[in-house]
Amino acid sequence: MIKSSSSSDVLVESEVPLAERAYRRLRQAIVRCEFQPGQRLRVDELSKQYALSSSPLREALSRLSEQGFVRAFENRGFRVAPLTVAGVADLTRVRLLVESEALRDAIACGDDQWESRLVGAAHALALVEQRLPEGPLILSEAWTAAHREFHLAMYGGTSSPMLMDLVSSLFDSAERYRQFSARHRKVERRKNSEHKKLVTAALERDAEQAVGLLRQHISMTERNVTAALLSMQAQGLLQ
């Protein structure tokens, strides 16, 4: 089972290497859509914004480029990766493959600690969701954090660190699409019932049921994001 880091294992920011600090800040900003798709990322401007020198920022941007969050252009710097209908379709295809395998492995290998973390994460997410206002717009930082913790807890029983790293990266890529499309979502989607069914199937060690529910969950996200992106394109809000 892959164990989550405890608070005592996490370095305070002043102890984190500068390149890692730059990477974390930029990745979080991109996932939260603080930079627009296709926006140019000028190192000199980022240096002022984050109070970091150009060297760690360039290293962070190169790393983000390898992960698909940023596009690097030879002699032309960096731009935020675009968000497209084709992109979310490709992302969903890979998520279905990787996350299905991660969940199967978690169900097969997860121990009591995994079950406890999953139950706790599901409960915390449900409490946050109960406090959300009515309507389709969900950009709550508390919900976003709890939602991420729930999904990573669900896969946390896997015996493969590499698989867990892939899951985390794919989830953040999908979160970027969700954050961006949520600004133009027309239909409300409450996920609490979907999450409860997933937890029940996982705790019952019913891999087929759990994976089937997961695939529906991920595919519904793709449909909602695609509808929002197409609507934005029609309004000329997205290239």
Tell whether the model's pLDDT for residue 9 goes beyond 50.
Answer: no
> Would you call 71 helix, strand, or coil by DSSP?
strand
Kindly indicate whether the domain formed by 7-80 is annotated with CATH number 1.10.40.30. Answer: no
The token pair at 164 is 């867990």
Say which residue the tokens 């809000």 belong to. 237
pLDDT of amino acid 183: 74
| Within this chain, domains 7-80 and 85-234 share the same CATH topology | no
Name the amino acid, one letter, at 206: D
Strands 40-41 and 70-73: unpaired
pLDDT band of residue 212 (cuts 50, 70, 90) is very high
Angle at 217 between CA 216 and CA 219, to 5 degrees: 65
Q: How confident is the model at residue 182 (pLDDT cuts 50, 70, 90)?
A: confident
What number of other Cβ atoms are within 10 A of residue 214's Cβ?
A: 25
Residue 98 confidence (pLDDT): 98
| Confidence at residue 12, expressed as pLDDT on a 0 to 100 scale | 60
In tens, the pLDDT along 16-25 reads 899 999 999 9
Query: Looking at the predicted structure, is the pLDDT value of residue 121 above 90?
Result: yes
Beta strands across the sheet bearing 77-80: 40-41, 77-80, 70-73
Average pLDDT over residues 206-231: 94
Average pLDDT on 136-144 reads 74
- Going 159 to 162 to 165 to 171, the CA torsion angle's sign is negative
Q: What size, in residues, is the chain?
A: 239
* Distance from C-alpha of 111 to C-alpha of 208, rounded to nearest angstrom: 19
pLDDT of 217? 94
Question: Is the pLDDT confidence value at 230 over 60?
Answer: yes
| Contacting residues for 29 by C-beta, under 8 A, at least 6 apart | 35
Judged against a pLDDT cut of 90, whether residue 184 lies above it is answered with: no
The pLDDT of residue 52 is: 94
Q: How confident is the model at residue 139 (pLDDT cuts 50, 70, 90)?
A: low
Question: Which of 202, 226, 90 is CA-nearest to residue 154?
Answer: 202
**What's the mean per-residue pLDDT of the chain?**
89
Predicted confidence band at 156 (pLDDT cuts at 50, 70, 90)?
very high
Domain residue spans of the chain? 7-80, 85-234
pLDDT tens readout for residues 105-114: 999 999 999 9
pLDDT at 138 over 60: no
Q: Which residues contact 90 (CB under 8 A, 6 or more apart)?
A: none
How much is the pLDDT for 213?
97
**CATH architecture for the domain at 85-234:** Up-down Bundle (1.20)
Alpha helical stretches, state H, the chain: 18-31, 43-50, 54-66, 85-109, 112-130, 141-155, 161-182, 192-203, 207-234
pLDDT single digits (tens) 60-110: 999 999 999 999 987 778 999 999 999 999 999 999 999 999 999 999 999
- The torsion angles phi and psi of 79, rounded to 5 degrees, stand at -135, 150
Indicate if the pLDDT at residue 239 is higher than 80: no
pTM of the prediction? 0.86
